[in-house]
């Protein structure tokens, strides 16, 4: 039987190199989209996949993440000028987390920079940034930016049994890889790059290979992980894990400055509690003057991690300085019930001057079509909600 | 003899809106219209059996939601159906866009990854600029020379909104007002087809080219509308643009307003220093306490007001009011749906807005031809086939196609417009389309060709300018129509204007008519019935 | 000689919870445990190389969230992973899949019985409504209905108010529900025998009731009133086995300063002048304390480690008559590979969690009849769980351990006492049943631990091996648990308390008994309460 060709087939979302395997594992057609790629919300069950990150291991397709290869004599200078962190300190085969800002010091995006060689870097980020990177190249003689987003297949591979699985796969010495380190391994007729990075706050790696070898990578990894509970996870589970780790998400915690209509609706690194990423020892970088002023003045808001009494997720709650909810001093950006921490947790923008005072969240929830609200006390947590020792230990130790 | 509280001259959408709000406030209102149908340029006409043309304006985006809701226009028959995509041709290429973001991203990325990224920054910036303008649409512009508390308050409001842009953006904004569409777009994009497509919004209806300073603002004017809050979205009115006028007329009549068609005004009667009524073409004189002109500023002051009644200088200003016609319209009844070369086989995309000749070079050339009093061989055409979406405007299986043409001169260098020249213009348009759709000509059942000449003569828009006067900074906000007369009150007592020659300008928005009603009611000491805020941008 | 503020007898989960809260309030607390490991019935033990068995309780749902959070048990290593579904298998090869995903569950059930696909939704709504009232009482001390103390009257009013929230019609249903059999109750909702049987299992697990016995409907409710992360009726696996819960509680208790001594079986509670003053260990050592808390069941407490002469009239008899009746067995098996159940979906999410080898309503009742006659059935109800595919810490990679809970298994056999041979015969019956449902199963077996009620009583200390420390029948619940007049954790001897599952709200790894007892103790000592009172989960 021949099936009729799909209408408007050219308008289908792009498929990642792993799609053939992913589709077999997504019986519930739980797809959304990311940067034009068909991207899973979940595969079998969001909660199950979340526990794979915390209990076993799972893969998250980051092919749709934007990947830019920056090369040339001026690559380091260009990147150093672009981001707020000192790029001259980044050693080869190391990765660093960065943000880059507009002249006004507002965050355009966050991402990671990989130093792949003396004059070769890879910048990754969640949204397309090529137009801004081209602008950033103006005035440098020898810097070239290649958009390799579609050419590199990438999997985040996260969870307590991830290291064991990679060992099982034959990546010898992987247990010696330190957080934010890079190792490469021969793979088929090409090379597999492994970085000890991730967005879950747990032990984990990211695997990078050319798109043509995507399926090979998937198959080898899943064969090795069979007895370690390997399972793909979607955006739902990732979003839970990243919130427990205290990581920020675009359009949850921050708006990309270049795409923000209202000038008060984007954020500075200080507001996002990322002041530690801003290195004023550097003589110049985009947004420096504005950020210096912001640092002196102190940010109006600061992103805080909240532990909230009760079990109702404080989604879209307002934060008040009094139990009577008369003085609004902030708003929740992301919230959830954490199944591993067993607490109602949230990230929230709190007016910096009120951070030391009492905090209350007004939480709305509904039960059987009836709407209820309650006021819950909030406590600011300094550390991530979830930070197992294995995430930082080298070797990671037993799972 | 009956004396009305108010007579409104011209049953275009702004006139009807004005009448509705005055009648709602309890006034005894009469609208007089020269044609035997209402609507002005927001009109639906059956010129060929079974085909209903929106023969002037053809798409809707600027209509104020607040007015739609306040006058309950839905109950009076109005429905706006938004586009889900668009198609554009230029330089031998065919491109298209989707309302769906992810699909649109992939589609654009295939053309240019750089522009696929930049487009989000572009729309964010436009939205930021539009936000400020949108807030002013349903407000009377302040008089910057006045010390009245109200003017000062309004000025402060504007300044406050302005500061909301953020320091950095204020500079950008000021710069933006004086930029050309092309320069503005060059800041964002590298793909010529995309640039040309977006630039078209900067020239539609104007006497500017894509490289002329000021065209960037026109671009904004075309994306500041919305459909259901989606800023920049455009849609089709079910039943054609006349449905808007009809629903407004229905609302006005329900409030007690009277509408007389076939009642062209030859003169506004002024006694002492006050407007007291109008004289119709048939000689009939109708009296009223106030007179509101929905005609454009030039027509109002040079055609129906005696120059003796005018204070010094106004006539001069009216004569110099920039109102250069630059657009043509060809409405075509088709026996079947045309096929466009290279277009995707997607009816959602290729039946919505279509642009032919989206090419910065040919667009500029067409502008040059216009300046020399000619039309170019290669024209910029914005087409749409409403019948694929709207079952009421063509017989089943047949279609009507609206073609808006930029540029078409009001005055030809080789003498006045003649039916032959008009048809030659129409022929050029059809030839242009034929290039993108071989066999197109064979589908034609009927065609109506409208040059600025026809538009002036039928609709009454001076020089056929669709905006009732150019939308350049010197003719906007408190400068529209003239400095000192930005608040709808005219130099003769009890005389007002309510058409697109006033703030906020052209486009089927109903805002001018509503704002004018608010000022009239204030002068009469009546309770205001006109909504002031759109609340859609909060 | 050192004198403790409190000695708690038995390091089961309730004992440790009690210790944690007393220590949190600043008391000097000692827990004494007869075994050389802690946990009682919530325990993880490596009995075969590389395999960690949860050799008593094996799944988690009733553990109170308020306690988990209050004692920060995740910090001490506790993690509960919910099931995404379960399997039930009938005697003729029928298979019913229970999915946590609503739409998938509906479609599947509809494929079996459209009637029941609809009926199940009504069943769960009704169960949830009933559970709501019970759940509110879990973390509260039951009022004494004969008392006129303001606190008791307040609590009674609270109960009455919650009860009235059901609505008039539902109150009648509710009262009726308490005395119904699971079968009668389910007949009102379901028609398919296997689905009914699957639901009815919850009504008999751990009890001496059959699916047709009055009162089994409430047991069903008892098993669905727990939750995982607020999902009522959901069950989950504790990472590292059920012992990880006890270990996490131990971590919390120790952080607050409590001491725990293992290998310290108690011989007697020492009573002087009508007051409990300490305990004598079997090794002769005497430990003194201001109060003594027994986490043992009511019968063991009053008939084994107390002198009858120290007790007021009638208590010994009451304890002796307390209904236990062990009815469950447990077989823990180490496997070299994953077993394959006939007819089970090729779905690792479903066929690796709970698999109920049921048979039918009839075979379930038959198994009960056998138990009444002091035998085990050839066709017992077996609930198998495979924690290892979910929990990488409990078996070597690629190998698995399987927990088999068996209903029914008598505490006393008709043909004389349990012997190792009889125990092994019981185990063989279970394994044979599994083999019928999963051919080739036997070849995968690496090691087996078989536990009849006899072993459970001997090792864990649960009288007659009753997993609930006493039957959950209405005469032994709420203010009647363990005995009328003694439901508020204070026992007839001064300074003596009980904190185990023999007290309200009863069995299950909930920590609620231990926490509630701590609250009462602190009240008597005039200390500030450290125990959360409300779960806030049902608002």
Residues B273/B37, Cβ–Cβ less than 8 Å: no
Do residue A60 and residue A72 come from a single domain?
A: no
Report the pLDDT value the prediction gives residue C352, as an integer from 0 to 100. 76
CA diameter of chain B: 71
Residues A381/A305, Cβ–Cβ less than 8 Å: yes
Chains B and C touch (3+ CB pairs under 8 A): no
Q: Give the one of C73, C229, C389 whose C-beta lies nearest to A339's C-beta.
A: C229
Do residue A158 and residue A60 come from a single domain?
A: yes
Residues B435/B473, Cβ–Cβ less than 8 Å: no
Q: Which residues, in sequence order, are CB contacts of A7 under 8 Å at separation 6+?
A: B345, B346
Chains A and B touch (3+ CB pairs under 8 A): yes
Closest-CA distance, A60 to chain C, in angstroms, reads 19
Backbone angles phi, psi at B391, to 5 degrees: -70, -10
pLDDT (average), residues B40-51: 95
pLDDT (average), residues B400-417: 96
Q: What is the DSSP string of A296-361?
A: HH--SEEEEEEEESSSS--TT-EEESSTT--SEEEEEEEEEEETTTTEEEEEEEEEGGGTTS-EEE
Do residue A49 and residue A185 come from a single domain?
A: yes
Q: Using a CB–CB cutoff of 8 Å, tell me whether A229 touches chain C.
A: yes
Closest-CA distance, B132 to chain A, in angstroms, reads 11
CATH number at residue A331: 2.40.30.110
Instruction: Count other C-beta atoms under 10 Å from residue A190's C-beta.
Output: 12
Q: Using a CB–CB cutoff of 8 Å, tell me whether A289 touches chain B.
A: no
Per-residue pLDDT at B351 exceeds 90: no
pTM, to two decimals: 0.90
Beta strands A144-147; A66-71: pairing state: antiparallel
pLDDT single digits (tens) B71-129: 999 999 999 998 888 899 988 889 999 888 899 999 999 999 999 999 999 999 998 88
Residues B507/B515, Cβ–Cβ less than 8 Å: no
Do residue A170 and residue A197 come from a single domain?
A: yes
A343 is a domain residue: yes
Residue among B37, B28, B27, B39 at smallest CA distance from B510: B39
Contact C349 A343 (CB under 8 A): no
Contact A103 B346 (CB under 8 A): no
pLDDT (average), residues A39-49: 95
A3 is a domain residue: no
Report the pLDDT value the prediction gives residue A195, as an integer from 0 to 100. 98
Q: Give the one of B106, B118, B127 whose C-beta lies nearest to A13's C-beta.
A: B106
Q: Give the one of A128, A134, A264 whose C-beta lies nearest to B116's C-beta.
A: A128
Residues B243/B78, Cβ–Cβ less than 8 Å: yes
Do residue A33 and residue A175 come from a single domain?
A: yes
| Cβ-based contacts of A168 with chain C (< 8 Å) | 397
Per-residue pLDDT at B429 exceeds 70: yes
Do residue A38 and residue A178 come from a single domain?
A: yes
Do residue A204 and residue A324 come from a single domain?
A: no
The sign of the CA dihedral C357, C359, C360, C361 is negative
Closest-CA distance, B281 to chain A, in angstroms, reads 52
Beta strands C400-407; C328-335: pairing state: antiparallel
Please give the DSSP secondary-structure letter assigned to residue B304: I
Q: Which two tokens stand for residue C488?
A: 């508020």
pLDDT (average), residues A64-71: 98
Alpha carbons B123 and A256: distance in angstroms, whole number: 13
A280 is a domain residue: no
| Cβ-based contacts of A56 with chain C (< 8 Å) | 390, 392
Report the pLDDT value the prediction gives residue B536, as an integer from 0 to 100. 55
Alpha carbons A15 and A64: distance in angstroms, whole number: 9
A28 is a domain residue: yes
Q: Using a CB–CB cutoff of 8 Å, tell me whether A128 touches chain B.
A: yes
A275 is a domain residue: no
Single out the residue in A123, A147, A171 at which a domain terminates: A147
| Helices and strands, number each (H, E), in chain A | 8, 19
Contact A128 B115 (CB under 8 A): no
Report the pLDDT value the prediction gives residue C237, as an integer from 0 to 100. 93
**Whats the size of chain A, residue-wise?**
399
Alpha carbons C272 and C284: distance in angstroms, whole number: 17
Q: Using a CB–CB cutoff of 8 Å, tell me whether A399 touches chain C.
A: yes
Alpha carbons B434 and B440: distance in angstroms, whole number: 5
A86 is a domain residue: yes
| Domains within chain C, CATH numbers bracketed | 3-79+240-322+468-524 (3.50.50.60)
Instruction: Count other C-beta atoms under 10 Å from residue B468's C-beta.
Output: 32
A163 is a domain residue: yes
Contact A45 C229 (CB under 8 A): no
Q: Which two tokens stand for residue B503?
A: 């703030």
Contact B106 A14 (CB under 8 A): yes
Q: Using a CB–CB cutoff of 8 Å, tell me whether C397 touches chain A.
A: yes
Backbone angles phi, psi at B299, to 5 degrees: -60, -45
A257 is a domain residue: no
- Give the CB-side neighbour count of residue C101, counting CA atoms within 13 A: 16
CATH number at residue A214: 3.30.1360.120
Contact A131 B118 (CB under 8 A): yes
Residues B482/B317, Cβ–Cβ less than 8 Å: yes
Q: Using a CB–CB cutoff of 8 Å, tell me whether C167 touches chain A.
A: no
| Cβ-based contacts of A262 with chain B (< 8 Å) | 128, 131, 164
Residues B365/B374, Cβ–Cβ less than 8 Å: no
Q: What is the DSSP string of A170-218?
A: T-TTGGGPPTTBEEEEEETTEEEEEES--SSSSSEEEEEEEGGGHHHHH
The residues that bridge with B405 in the sheet, in sequence order, are B328, B381
Contact B120 A35 (CB under 8 A): no
Contact B115 A131 (CB under 8 A): yes
Beta strands A301-308; A343-351: pairing state: antiparallel
Do residue A43 and residue A158 come from a single domain?
A: yes
Select from B106, B161, B164, B536 the residue whose CB has the most chain A CBs within 10 Å, as the one to mutate to test that interface: B106
Q: Which two tokens stand for residue B433?
A: 């389309």
pLDDT single digits (tens) A284-330: 999 999 999 999 999 999 999 999 998 899 999 999 999 999 999 99
Give the residue numbers in B contacting A (CB under 8 Å), as ranges: 98, 102-103, 105-107, 109, 113-118, 120-121, 123-124, 127-128, 131, 164-166, 168-169, 188, 344-346
Question: Could you tell me where the beta strands, DSSP code E, fall in B314-454?
Answer: 327-334, 353-356, 380-384, 399-406, 444-450
Residue among A49, A47, A53 at smallest CA distance from A162: A53
Q: Give the one of B116, B131, B346 whose C-beta lies nearest to A8's C-beta.
A: B346
Q: Which two tokens stand for residue A233?
A: 């996870």
Question: How many Å from the N-terminal Cα to the C-terminal Cα in chain A?
Answer: 49
Closest CA in chain B for residue A14: B106
CA diameter of chain C: 71
Single out the residue in A147, A175, A192 at which a domain terminates: A147
Long-range contacts: B481-484, Cβ < 8 Å, 24+? Answer: B481/B297, B481/B317, B481/B318, B481/B321, B482/B297, B482/B314, B482/B317, B482/B318, B482/B321, B484/B143, B484/B145
| Cβ-based contacts of C60 with chain A (< 8 Å) | none
> How big is the CA angle at B398 (ends B393 and B400), to the nearest 5 degrees?
50
Where residue B537 falls among pLDDT bands split at 50, 70, 90?
Answer: low
Closest CA in chain C for residue A44: C349
Residue among B343, B448, B444, B359 at smallest CA distance from B406: B359
Contact C393 A310 (CB under 8 A): no
Closest CA in chain A for residue C76: A341
Provide the domain limits for residue A191: 10-65+150-245
Q: Give the one of A13, A259, A264 whose C-beta lies nearest to B124's C-beta.
A: A259
Contact C392 A228 (CB under 8 A): yes
- Does residue C115 sit in helix, strand or coil? helix
Q: Give the one of A7, A130, A259 whose C-beta lies nearest to B113's C-beta.
A: A130
Alpha carbons C89 and A188: distance in angstroms, whole number: 45
Burial label for C485, CB within 10 Å (0-12, 13-18, 19+), is: middle
> Locate tokens 């010898």: which residue?
A172
Report the pLDDT value the prediction gives residue A2, as an integer from 0 to 100. 61
Single out the residue in A229, A245, A261 at which a domain terminates: A245
Residues of chain C with pLDDT under 70: 535-539
Backbone angles phi, psi at C445, to 5 degrees: -75, 125
Report the pLDDT value the prediction gives residue B175, as an integer from 0 to 100. 86
Beta strands A31-34; A37-40: pairing state: antiparallel
Residues C444/C396, Cβ–Cβ less than 8 Å: no
Contact B102 A36 (CB under 8 A): yes
Alpha carbons A236 and A244: distance in angstroms, whole number: 13
| Cβ-based contacts of A147 with chain B (< 8 Å) | 113
CATH number at residue A105: 3.30.70.1400
Q: Using a CB–CB cutoff of 8 Å, tell me whether C100 touches chain A.
A: yes
Do residue A81 and residue A129 come from a single domain?
A: yes
Do residue A225 and residue A162 come from a single domain?
A: yes
Do residue A312 and residue A367 come from a single domain?
A: yes
Report the pLDDT value the prediction gives residue B85, as an integer from 0 to 100. 84
Percent of chain C residues past pLDDT 90, beyond the cut: 80
Question: How many Å from the N-terminal Cα to the C-terminal Cα in chain C?
Answer: 49
| Cβ-based contacts of A55 with chain C (< 8 Å) | 79, 81, 239, 390-392
- Provide the number of structural domains found in chain A: 3
Q: What is the DSSP string of C217-271?
A: HHHHHHHHS-EETTEET--EEETT-THHHHHHHHHHHHHTT-EEESS--EEEEEE
Do residue A34 and residue A161 come from a single domain?
A: yes
Alpha carbons A101 and A286: distance in angstroms, whole number: 6
ipTM: 0.89
Q: Which two tokens stand for residue A314?
A: 């404080």
Burial label for A279, CB within 10 Å (0-12, 13-18, 19+), is: middle
Which residue stretches of B419-536 are H helix? 419-436, 452-454, 511-523
Alpha carbons B14 and B295: distance in angstroms, whole number: 10
Q: Using a CB–CB cutoff of 8 Å, tell me whether A227 touches chain C.
A: yes
Distances (CA, A) of C134 to C122, C182, C477, C511: 19, 18, 11, 16
Alpha carbons C278 and C271: distance in angstroms, whole number: 7
Alpha carbon A39 to its chain centroid, in Å, reads 15
List of chains touching B (3+ CB pairs within 8 A): A
Cis bond before residue C482 (omega within 30° of 0): yes
Residues B468/B361, Cβ–Cβ less than 8 Å: no
């Amino acid at each position: 039987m021949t099936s009729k060709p799909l209408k408007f087939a050219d308008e289908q979302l792009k498929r990642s190199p792993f799609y053939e395997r992913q589709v077999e594992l997504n019986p519930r057609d739980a797809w959304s989209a990311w940067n034009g790629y068909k991207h899973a919300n979940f595969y079998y069950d969001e909660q199950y996949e979340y526990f794979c990150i915390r209990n076993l291991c799972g893969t998250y397709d980051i092919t749709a993440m934007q990947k830019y290869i920056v090369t040339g004599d001026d690559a380091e200078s260009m990147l150093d000028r672009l981001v707020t962190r000192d790029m001259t300190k980044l050693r080869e085969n190391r990765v660093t987390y960065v943000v880059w800002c507009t002249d006004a010091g507002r965050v355009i995006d966050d991402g990671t920079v990989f130093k792949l060689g003396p004059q070769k870097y890879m910048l990754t980020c969640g949204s397309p940034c090529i137009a801004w990177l081209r602008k950033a190249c103006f005035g440098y003689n020898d810097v070239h930016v290649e958009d390799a987003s579609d050419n590199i297949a990438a999997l985040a591979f996260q969870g307590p049994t991830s290291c064991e699985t990679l060992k099982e796969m034959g990546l010898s010495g992987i247990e010696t890889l330190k957080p934010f380190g890079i190792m490469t391994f021969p793979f088929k007729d090409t090379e597999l790059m492994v970085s000890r990075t991730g967005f879950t706050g747990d032990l984990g790696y990211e695997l990078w290979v050319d798109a043509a070898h995507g399926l090979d990578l998937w198959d080898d990894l899943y064969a090795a992980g069979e007895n370690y509970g390997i399972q793909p996870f979607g955006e739902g589970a990732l979003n839970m894990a990243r919130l427990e780790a205290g990581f920020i998400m675009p359009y949850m915690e921050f708006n990309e400055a270049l795409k923000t209509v209202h000038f008060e609706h984007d954020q500075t690194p200080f507001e996002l509690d990322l002041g530690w990423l801003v290195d004023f020892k550097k003589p110049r970088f985009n947004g420096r003057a504005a950020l210096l002023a912001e640092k002196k003045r102190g940010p109006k808001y600061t992103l805080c991690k909240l532990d909230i009494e009760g079990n109702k997720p404080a989604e879209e709650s307002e934060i008040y300085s009094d139990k009577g909810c008369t003085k609004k001093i902030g708003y929740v950006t992301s919230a959830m019930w954490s199944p591993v921490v067993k607490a109602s947790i949230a990230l929230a923008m709190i007016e910096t001057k009120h951070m030391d005072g009492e905090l209350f969240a007004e939480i709305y929830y509904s039960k059987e079509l009836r709407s209820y609200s309650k006021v819950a006390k909030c406590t600011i947590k300094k550390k991530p909600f979830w930070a197992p020792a294995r995430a930082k230990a080298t070797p990671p130790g037993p799972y | 003899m009956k004396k009305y509280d108010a007579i409104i001259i011209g049953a275009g959408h702004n006139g009807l809106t004005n009448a509705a709000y005055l009648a709602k406030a309890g006034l005894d209102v009469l609208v007089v219209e020269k044609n035997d149908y209402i609507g002005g340029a927001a009109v639906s006409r059956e010129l060929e059996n079974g085909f209903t043309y929106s023969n002037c304006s053809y798409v809707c985006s600027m209509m104020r939601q607040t007015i739609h809701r306040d006058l309950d226009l839905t109950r009076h028959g109005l429905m706006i159906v938004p586009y889900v995509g668009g198609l554009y041709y230029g330089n031998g290429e065919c491109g298209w866009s989707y309302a769906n973001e992810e699909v649109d991203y992939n589609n654009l990325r295939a053309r240019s990854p750089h522009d696929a990224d930049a487009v989000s920054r572009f729309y964010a910036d436009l939205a930021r600029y539009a936000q400020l303008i949108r807030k002013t649409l349903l407000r009377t512009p302040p008089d910057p020379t006045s010390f009245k508390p109200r003017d000062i308050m309004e000025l402060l409001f504007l300044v406050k909104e302005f500061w909301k842009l953020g320091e950095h953006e204020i500079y950008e904004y000021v710069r933006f007002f004086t930029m050309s569409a092309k320069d503005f777009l060059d800041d964002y994009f590298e793909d010529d087809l995309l640039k040309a497509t977006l630039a078209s919004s900067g020239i539609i209806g104007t006497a500017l080219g894509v490289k002329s300073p000021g065209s960037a603002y026109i671009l904004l004017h075309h994306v500041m509308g919305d459909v259901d809050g989606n800023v920049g979205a455009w849609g089709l009115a079910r039943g054609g643009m006349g449905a808007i006028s009809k629903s407004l007329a229905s609302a006005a009549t329900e409030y007690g307003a009277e509408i007389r068609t076939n009642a062209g005004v030859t003169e506004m009667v002024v006694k002492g220093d006050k407007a007291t009524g109008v004289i119709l073409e048939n000689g009939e004189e109708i009296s009223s306490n106030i007179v509101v002109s929905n005609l454009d500023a030039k027509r109002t002051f040079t055609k129906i007001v005696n120059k003796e009644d005018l204070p010094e200088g106004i006539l001069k200003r009216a004569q110099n009011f920039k109102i250069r016609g630059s657009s043509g319209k060809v409405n075509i009844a088709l026996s079947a749906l045309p096929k466009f070369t290279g277009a995707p086989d997607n009816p959602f995309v290729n039946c919505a807005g279509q642009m032919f000749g989206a090419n910065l070079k040919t667009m500029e050339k067409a502008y040059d031809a216009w300046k020399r009093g000619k039309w170019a061989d290669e024209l910029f055409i914005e087409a749409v086939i409403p019948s694929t979406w709207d079952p009421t405007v063509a017989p089943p299986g047949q279609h009507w196609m609206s073609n808006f043409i930029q540029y078409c001169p009001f005055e030809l260098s080789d003498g006045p417009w003649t039916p032959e020249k008009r048809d030659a213009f129409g022929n050029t348009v059809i030839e242009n389309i034929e290039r993108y759709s071989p066999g197109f000509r064979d589908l034609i059942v009927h065609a109506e060709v409208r040059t600025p000449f026809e538009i002036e003569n039928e609709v009454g828009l001076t020089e056929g300018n669709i905006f009732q006067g150019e939308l350049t900074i010197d003719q906007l906000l408190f400068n529209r129509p003239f400095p000192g007369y930005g608040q709808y009150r005219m130099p003769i007592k009890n005389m007002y204007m309510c058409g697109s020659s006033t703030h906020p300008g052209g486009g089927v928005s109903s805002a001018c008519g509503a704002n004018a009603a608010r000022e009239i009611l204030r002068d009469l000491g009546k309770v205001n019935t006109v909504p002031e805020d759109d609340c859609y941008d909060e | 000689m050192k004198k403790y503020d409190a000695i708690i007898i038995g390091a089961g989960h309730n004992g440790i919870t009690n210790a944690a809260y007393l220590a949190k309030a600043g008391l000097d607390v000692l827990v004494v445990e007869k075994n050389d490991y802690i946990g009682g019935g919530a325990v993880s033990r490596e009995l075969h190389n590389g395999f960690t068995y949860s050799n008593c309780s094996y799944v988690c749902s009733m553990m109170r969230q308020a306690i988990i959070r209050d004692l920060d048990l995740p910090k001490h290593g506790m993690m509960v992973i919910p099931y995404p579904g379960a399997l039930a298998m009938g005697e003729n090869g029928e298979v019913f899949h229970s999915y946590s995903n609503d739409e998938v569950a509906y479609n599947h059930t509809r494929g079996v019985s459209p009637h029941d696909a609809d009926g199940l939704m009504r069943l769960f709504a009704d169960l949830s409504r009933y559970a709501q009232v019970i759940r509110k009482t879990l973390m509260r001390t039951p009022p004494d209905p004969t008392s006129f103390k303001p606190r008791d009257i307040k609590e009674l009013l609270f109960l009455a108010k919650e009860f009235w929230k059901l609505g008039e019609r539902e109150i009648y249903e509710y009262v009726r529900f308490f005395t119904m059999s699971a079968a009668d109750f389910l007949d009102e909702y379901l028609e398919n025998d296997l689905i009914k049987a699957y639901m009815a299992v919850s009504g008999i697990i751990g009890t001496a009731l059959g699916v047709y016995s009055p009162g089994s409907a409430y047991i069903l409710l008892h098993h669905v009133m727990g939750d995982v992360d607020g999902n009522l009726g959901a069950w989950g696996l504790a990472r590292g086995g059920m012992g990880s819960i006890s270990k996490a509680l131990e971590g919390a208790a120790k952080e607050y300063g409590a001491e725990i001594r293992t290998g310290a079986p108690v011989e007697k509670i020492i009573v002087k002048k009508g007051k409990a003053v300490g305990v004598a260990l079997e090794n002769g050592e005497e430990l003194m304390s201001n109060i003594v808390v027994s986490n043992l069941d009511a019968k063991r407490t009053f008939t084994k480690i107390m002198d009858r002469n120290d007790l007021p009239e009638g208590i010994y008899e009451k304890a002796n008559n307390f209904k236990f009746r062990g009815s469950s067995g447990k077989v823990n098996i180490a496997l070299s590979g994953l077993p394959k159940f006939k007819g089970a979906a090729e779905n690792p999410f479903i066929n690796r969690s709970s698999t109920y080898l049921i048979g039918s309503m009839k075979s379930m009742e038959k198994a009960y009849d056998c138990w009444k006659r002091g035998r085990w059935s050839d066709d017992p109800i077996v609930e198998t769980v495979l924690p290892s595919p979910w929990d990488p810490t409990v078996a070597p990679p690629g190998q698995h351990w399987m927990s088999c809970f068996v209903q029914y298994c008598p505490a006393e056999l008709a043909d004389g006492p349990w012997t190792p041979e009889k125990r092994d015969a019981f185990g063989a019956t279970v394994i044979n049943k599994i083999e019928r449902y999963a051919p080739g199963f036997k070849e995968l077996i690496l090691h087996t631990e078989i536990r009849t009620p006899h072993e459970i009583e001997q090792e864990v200390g649960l009288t007659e091996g009753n997993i609930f420390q006493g039957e959950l029948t209405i005469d032994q619940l709420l203010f009647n648990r363990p005995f009328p007049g003694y439901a508020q954790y204070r026992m007839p001897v001064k300074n003596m308390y009980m904190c185990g599952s023999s007290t309200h709200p009863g069995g299950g790894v909930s920590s609620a008994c231990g926490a509630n007892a701590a609250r009462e103790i602190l009240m008597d000592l005039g200390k500030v309460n450290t125990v959360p009172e409300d779960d806030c989960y049902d608002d």
